[in-house]
Amino acid sequence: METKELENNVSSKTKKMALLWALIGAHRIYAGKYISGILFLILMLMCSIFPLDPALKWFFYFVIGWFLYDVYRIYKGKFKDNKNLFITKWDDGEITLTKKKILNGILIGYGGILIFINILTKIEPYIKEKLANCKEFYVEPYGGYNDYEELEKADRKIKFHINCKKDGILTINDKTYQIKTGPNTIEYQLDFGKNVLKYYLKLQDEDKNEKEETLKYKVKPYEFSTNIEEIKDENGNTNEEEIKFTILGLKPLKLLINDQEYELEQGSLKTIRYPLGLKNNKINLKFYVDNDLYEEKKIEIYRNFYQLETNIEQIKDAAGKTKEKQVEFKIFSYKPGKILINNKEYPINIEKTNKIYFPLKYGDNNLNVSLVFEEEEPINFNYTVYRKTPEEILEEEKLACREDPKKFVEIQKFNWVVDAYMWIHYRILVKNNCPIPIKDLQFEVSYYAASGTEIDSNVTKTAYIKIPPKQSRWINFNRADTYILGTDEARSARIKVFYVELAE
């Protein structure tokens, strides 16, 4: 009955072509099932293109399972086309092969093989994981094979993370560790210096080692520092006579600095001050541990045979200008020579600080400085500085005075007395440093006892006078109309300008 039903529901499609299109996941499209066919093709491409995330591995298993189920049904003749007819014929009886059919067959087959290889490559680790004796085995941090992996002092503990289905024994060099079924973490401490770790994992009832490897590590057996970067100037040179090396030996070691030998005991801290010659210095440092060369460092530094300083930057204001009349140059040299500033010559005395004061003109000043030494190329510098004119200085002072005239009032002298009637008398010498006249100066006085405790403050007095620019005036307050309770205890007083007006 069932065979007869199949014969009455036979599709014109063939199993041969359906299986051929299945190589690239397009068998459902061939059968006319376009919606499910496109969906299946997209899923197959996603499995092939995107990386396999462990959280999505069941998605991959579902797609592969769906594909195998369809192939099985095609092979058995139970797969239906879009008209709900069974695809049972192997072929349509025609064996005619054209170039187009052959080319399509090759491309479809090649594409299908690539897709399936890609998918199988992705699920292979999960298959191996299911079949393997150990779910997890890794070393942290991982060492090197040919070269030594260098670790810091704080990281010299190596961790072996092991998760196996059986008990076993982990052997690291000559030490053995029992491994239990399930997660294990084994810590192994490295020595200072070079370490070669030969380890293998042998599981119970297994003939061969589960894991076997040789890793190389090295832990620096000393801490080393130098002040070379601190003593360099902006040109990468130095004016210092020596360089400093600081070494902490975590293991006995020997240090050679240009064939000069230094021994360090374990735990010892040594500071070496190595002298620098003039000009080029090449320093070769060799560190020996257990009589083997552990590390070699090379340092090059140029020591200046002269030092030149100038106060140009210090005398400039924010706008790059100055009101100074001259600039200062200081030069120290280990060689005799001369300095030329705008072609004006000054001698340089050796091993002595030479001070030179060069006058500035109003406006722009371009200073061409040249250092000339025997058997050396001339060393040239160029400086620019603008000297303000008297008119510019005056305008700047007026502007500053208008902003805060109190800053330009200078109290040069202050005397005070208390008479028998407890009246206070002031005598104040005031100078007006502002280029504008000032008037109506108000002062604030504070009184202090012998112990330093403030007795009274905020005592104000106003002098209604006018002081011309750049001049001083005495101001007297006789029988000042301020009676201070407890003034007989006052031993000192301080005065400051509280308020002043400009008399423009």
**123 — pLDDT class (breaks 50, 70, 90):** low
The whole-number average pLDDT for the span 26-36 is 83
497 touches 428 (CB < 8 A):
no
The whole-number average pLDDT for the span 253-262 is 92
Could you tell me the pTM of the whole model? 0.48
Regarding predicted confidence, which is higher, 413 or 43?
Answer: 413
Regarding predicted confidence, which is higher, 428 or 461?
Answer: 428
Token couple for 8: 């009455």
The b/e string for 75-108 (b: 16+ C-beta within 10 A; e otherwise) is eeeebbbbeebbbbbeeeeeeeeeeeeeeeeeeb
CA atoms within 13 A on the CB side of 5: 4
CATH topology of domain 399-502: Immunoglobulin-like (2.60.40)
In angstroms, rounded to a whole number, what is the distance separating the alpha carbons of residues 190 and 201?
Answer: 19
pLDDT of residue 1 exceeding 50, the answer is no
pLDDT tens digits along 40-69: 878 777 766 665 555 566 777 787 788 888
The whole-number average pLDDT for the span 457-484 is 80
**428 — pLDDT class (breaks 50, 70, 90):** very high
CATH number of 134-219: 2.60.40
CATH topology of domain 222-303: Immunoglobulin-like (2.60.40)
Kindly give, in sequence order, each residue whose CB lies less than 8 Å from that of residue 322, ignoring residues fewer than 6 positions away.
315, 316, 360, 385, 386, 387, 388
The whole-number average pLDDT for the span 430-441 is 94
Domain boundaries, the chain: 2-130, 134-219, 222-303, 306-388, 399-502
Instruction: Quote the distance between the C-alpha of residue 355 and its chain's center.
Output: 42
The whole-number average pLDDT for the span 462-480 is 88
pLDDT tens digits along 157-180: 889 999 998 899 999 998 999 999
Looking at residue 6, what is its pLDDT? 47
Kindly give, in sequence order, each residue whose CB lies less than 8 Å from that of residue 444, ignoring residues fewer than 6 positions away.
457, 458, 459, 460, 495, 496, 497, 498
Percent above pLDDT 70 for the chain: 85
CATH number of 306-388: 2.60.40
CA atoms within 13 A on the CB side of 155: 12
Same fold, 134-219 and 306-388: yes
Looking at residue 337, what is its pLDDT? 92
Regarding predicted confidence, which is higher, 59 or 246?
Answer: 246
